[in-house]
Each structure stands twice: as structure tokens, then as C-alpha cells.
Amino acid sequence: MAYDKFTVLTSSAVPLPIENVDTDQIIPARFLKATKREGFGENLFRDWRYNNDNSPKEDFVLNNPIYSGKILVGGKNFGSGSSREHAAWAIYDYGFRCVVSSFFADIFKGNAINVGILPVQVSPEFLDKIFTAIEADPKTQLEVNLPEQTITILATKEKEKFDINGYKKHNLLNGFDDIDYLQAMKSEINTFAESSVY
Amino acid sequence: MSNTPTTLFDKVWDAHVIRKIEDGPDVFFIDRHFIHEVTSPVAFLGLENRGVNVMFPDRTYATADHNTPTVNQHLPVQDPLSANQLKALETNSSKYGISHWGLGNPKNGIVHVVGPENGITLPGMTIVCGDSHTSTHGAFGAIAFGIGTSEVEMVLSSQCIMQPKPKKMRINVNGNLSKGVTPKDVILYIISKLTTAGATGYFVEYAGDVFENMSMEGRMTVCNMSIEMGARGGMIAPDQTTFNYINGREKAPKGEAWDKALAYWKTLKTEEGATFDKEYNFDAADIEPMITYGTNPGMGIGISNHIPLAEEVGGGKSTYEKSLNYMGFHEGEEMKGKKIDYVFIGSCTNGRIEDFRAFASVIKGRKKAENVTAWIVPGSHVVEQQIKDEGILDILTEAGFQLRQPGCSACLAMNDDKIPAGKYAVSTSNRNFEGRQGPGARTLLASPLVAAAAAVTGVVTDPRELLEEAAV
Ligand code: SF4
């Protein structure tokens, strides 16, 4: 078991209405030198969050105390670029458990689930509604319900279904991961390997 | 087996599925696995915590590349964190019996350069690595893609990962490329048409005259950047060019095994009438040398064009403005003539011998522009040696350039090769994201020819103007 179970998360959210947020922004390469997975939260969005002299950039959302919560809401095509799982670790380590966007890059989406972050893909219209709701009230609560596969803006009761495959859902609900699954089928893998071309 | 025509991708994918999970991913067998110092340490830590072993150590190869210096590689690595990562790769490899090509090893180099170079990459294989440009190996008709560290741990411990099968896309480019137009321009052109997310969820097959006539180096450049339009990977059907490249390389099959392999490889193509979920057709004649002007690889234009207006590009206006602001450019400006500060030639996209030949063809008989700092970084020691053997080093030296030692270098700027804030770099690498080449660095992605033209003129220059002069 690799991470905490995920069932229903009710929280305020942090808005980042920028498109194509790539993993080099989430965690710049120069911070990838660690050999452990903890501690990356400190450098999450480093170059958007801090000036060169390490003073916080006032206008960046993570530095604005009115926004907080365990849900990060990003613009379209979130997590493009490098396969670095460090990006997902940084988001998790900072305290987020869920990322909402209207579109995710493939590798990031897989990495997120593998570290226990739920990526919730919503329609562009619903994404706009979320941004509007947060703008109206930075403390507005979102409910992400994994068993039901729904996300709700509690203030307005607006709700949308999201997709996740049954296998991954089961994993997240129970805190299982793929390695547990694969370890259980080693003899099958061995047989396959013996007959493979390479 | 039914006799519906199948695609190259289906043939290779289906041959590697051990189990299909209902409403879930496929359990997918991996033939070859590459690891490097940055994305593997936590995977090894995971193995230790679970108390499991590496299942097939001889299917994994380790090379140090991301975080290595490109000068004085014989000296101890100065940065203690980098040194620690390199040490971890070495220790983990030796502990589990994995081949390790560390700094100084003659086989060392960028993972996607050394894999093919040593004949490890073969048609029909499945290949993964904790690096998104693993798609490079698709040039051989392999299914190759980047994975996260959790998946590195899966492959080490079980030689499998869990993958939903991607959808299929074919991109056809037919006709002939004009002079000065290289494989890098072809892929930058395709990405500019599809955008950075245009192929997300797909696996791409590149087909048509242009790819058939391309060298293996060129095909690698193209497949390498598949990820930049969101695709998991890209592949090209193997043909005689592929077989010739592989033949005789160290790990390639020999003798009877070669004949057997060859017979199999020849079956690896998309059959007539096979269908794709999406298909695009482009005309080679429409492609000119490309350059990017923004902060993602989809923001590229032909070098004689102007930076598009916000309303001409899809997507949010504020995102577009943010991007141009970062670059210090304005809508409607011409790219040609813009002053540049740095030139980087190298990376797994354009760090192979052909790229240095192209670079040399432009700079020969010219001098490096005074205002330009150039970092010329071979993709591997083998490439470095070729540069010397072919006399390219002499041309470089003559023109005032220096050759560095192999590694990823300024492609991701994890080592000291960082472009300073606010400076402009024409780079043959693959990503122009904010800060990719150093905090505040401004990257213009282009081919080795465009990089060479900029290196000798100090401004963005159409290399065709120089090639014509040279031809006279
Ligand atoms: S050269 Fe760049 S893209 Fe290629 S493997 Fe190295 S860091 Fe990744």
C-alpha cells in the first residue's frame, strides 16, 4: 500500500487558470536532484512562486493567503511535458490530493493516480463555473466524490460526473497500487518472458 | 486471428499484453528498460521498502546523462547532490546486477542516443524509460514511451507496467523536402499544426515518402518529439534503412539469429486498409525551416513568417500574452533578425552525428559571431569520437567553437549549463518551456542548420541564405 485511501474530499480550492501548465513549471529540473520523494512541495511552482532572491512573488496564487485547500484547479492541458513523477510528488507534498482541469497530459495523469492524487477531468464549461465560484468566494467548497464519480460546487449544487477506470478507482479507494497487483502475477509474467521474442 | 488489416502499432502492442483487466489497463510486458540517475533512485528505494528484487536485471540498462557535467568529466562531480544521484545509480545498478554506463565509460551518453547506438533498440520491442523522450526509439518500429518513477519501480520489480491501450493516429507527410529543411523542421511543423495537446491519448505512426527517405538519425529526431504534441509515442515501420543501421551493432542479433529477426521485422508494418482513430496528411513542400517564438513547442512558425496575432491562435488570450511577455516578443513581429545570445546544439533530439555534420556544413569557412556563446554537446562518446574522426572538430575549432563532453546539458539545465535569465538561446533540443534551459532563459527551438546560421550571424537567420552562398 503506497498512499492514503481516497473516498470523498470536501475542500476549498486553489485556482490556477493558466493553460498548458507543464511539469517544468510544477517543479523545475534543478530541484530534481534528491534521491527521496519527500520535500518537493517546497519547490512546487518555484519560479512562479519566488523571485530570484527567494522572496515570494506576491501575485502568485500560492502566496495569496485567501486561497487554500486540498484541491488545485488548473487550466486546460495540465501537466504536459516531462515524465518526471516529481511533479506529482510536489503537488502531493504541498498538500493537494486532487487536481481538476478540463484536460490532462497523459503521463501526468497516470503519475498522479500512482502517487494517490485524483485527477478530475471536467468539461470546459464546468471548469469555468469552478473558477467563477472561487472568484466569487475564495473559500467556496468543492466536493469530490470518488465512489459516485462526481464533483460538486456545494454553494450552487452544480455537479458533474467524471471518468475513471474501474481498476484505478478500486486502487484509490483502497490505497492499493499497481505493484501489489503485479507482484501477485509473477509466475504468469515468467511464463510470458520465456516465450517472448526478445 | 481474424484477417482484418492491422496496424504496426497493434501488432507490437498486442504481442506484449499479458493480461487485459476488465474496465482497466492492460498488463503490458516490457522488453527493454533504460534508467538514468534522476528518475530511478526513488524506484530503488521503493523496491527496498517492499523487500522485492529486480526481476530481470539483464533487461535494464543504466546510463548517467541528465545531471552530468559536460566539461572535466574525469574530475569528481562538484555539486554534492548531483554526485549523490550518480553514486546512487552506480550502487543500485551494481547491487541488482544491472549494466551501468557511468561517467567516463566509453558507452556513456544520453540514454536515447546510446540505446540505438549499441543495438539495444530493435524493431518490435517494447521499451520504456523514466524520460518522456523515450519515444525516440519508435524510429525503429518499437513501441517506446516515457514513464513515471512508480512505473520504473513496476518494471524493475515485474518487467511490466499497467497501461490502457492508446488510440491510434497516423501522420502522413508526402512529397520532397526542400533544401535546408531537416527532420527537426518536419516535426516542429507537425507540432505547430496539431498543438501541444493535439495527440494526447494517441500513439502516432509516421508514414509517407518523407519518413521513408529519412535516415535513422532523422527518424529518431521525429519520433523523439512525439511527446511534444501530447502523444505517448511515435513509430515508423522498419525498412532496409533500419536494418542497415542495426546490422553489426554490439547487441544486435548475429548470424542465424539475425536472419530470424529480419524475417520477423519485415512483418512489422501497417497493412493496406488498416484504420486509425485519426489521420493527418501534410505536404512536404509546405515545410520550411522552423523556429519557435513562444513557451511551448507548438508555438513554432516557418522562419520567414511573423509571430501570429493572438486571434490567429486557438486557446486563451491571456496564456498567449503571458508566453510572449516571457519571451520579450510581440505579436506580428518578424523572427528573422532577432538578436540571440546562446546557441545549444545537442540533446537526444539533435545530438547525433548527422546533426553535427549539418551544423558544420553551415559554419565551415565562417566564424562564430562575437555576441554568441555556443555549447556544442555530443549525445554520446561514440558521437564525440565520430566528430573527431570526420574532421568536424577541426571545422568547429577553426570557426571558434569548442566541443563539450556528452550529456543532456542545457536541454534541461540540471547541471551547470544554464542559459542566464533573459538571454535568448537558439537550441536544437525539444522544449522551450519557461525556465527549461535555466531560470528566466528564453528558448528558440530549431534545427541544427538554423542553430548554425544563428551561431555565425548572431541573429535569427534563414540557413538557406547561407547554404546558397556556400553553394556558389
Ligand atoms: S537530452 Fe533532454 S529530453 Fe533528452 S533525455 Fe536528456 S533531458 Fe531528456
pLDDT digits (tens, 9 = 90+) for B346-404: 999 999 999 999 999 999 999 999 999 999 999 999 999 999 999 999 999 999 999 99
> What are the tens digits of pLDDT across the range A136-154?
999 999 999 999 999 999 9
Ramachandran angles phi, psi of A156, nearest 5° = -110, -5
Report CA B263 to chain centroid distance, whole Å: 28
Helix (H, G, I), strand (E, B) or coil at A100: strand
Residues of A in contact with B81 (CB under 8 A): 33-34
C-alpha dist (Å) from residue A196 to A99, A102, B29, B283: 39, 40, 9, 39
Q: Which residue has the cell 465560484?
A: A133
> What are the tens digits of pLDDT across the range B401-460?
999 999 999 999 888 999 999 999 999 999 999 999 999 999 999 999 999 999 999 999
The residue among B428, B453, B455, B423 whose CA lies nearest residue B441 is: B423
Ligand 1 pocket mutation, candidates B37, B65, B68, B344, criterion most atoms within 8 A of CB: B65
Give me the total of CB pairs closer than 8 Å, taking one residue from chain A and one from chain B: 203
> What are the tens digits of pLDDT across the range B268-324?
999 999 999 999 999 999 999 999 999 999 999 999 999 999 988 877 788 899 999
B126-129 and B143-146 beta bridge pairing: parallel
CA distance B268 to B9: 9
Question: Do the chains contact at A189 and B29, CB–CB below 8 Å?
Answer: yes
Task: State the pLDDT at residue B472.
Answer: 43
Amino acid at B15: A
Q: Which residue among A35, A81, A85 places its CB closest to the CB of B88?
A: A35
Q: Quote the ipTM score.
A: 0.90
A98-101 and A71-74 beta bridge pairing: parallel
Ligand 1 atom at minimum distance from B412 CA:
7
A98-101 and A118-121 beta bridge pairing: parallel
CA distance A179 to A1: 9
Q: A61-84 burial string, b = 16+ CB within 10 Å, else e?
A: bbeeeebebbbbbbbbbbbbbbbb
Q: Which residue has the cell 539483464?
A: B58
Tell me whether residue A131 is exposed, middle or buried, using C-beta atoms within 10 angstroms of its C-beta: 0 to 12, 13 to 18, 19 or more: middle
Ramachandran angles phi, psi of B376, nearest 5° = -115, 110
Which residues have a Cβ under 8 Å from the Cβ of B240 and sit 6 or more positions away?
Answer: none
Residues of B in contact with A115 (CB under 8 A): 150
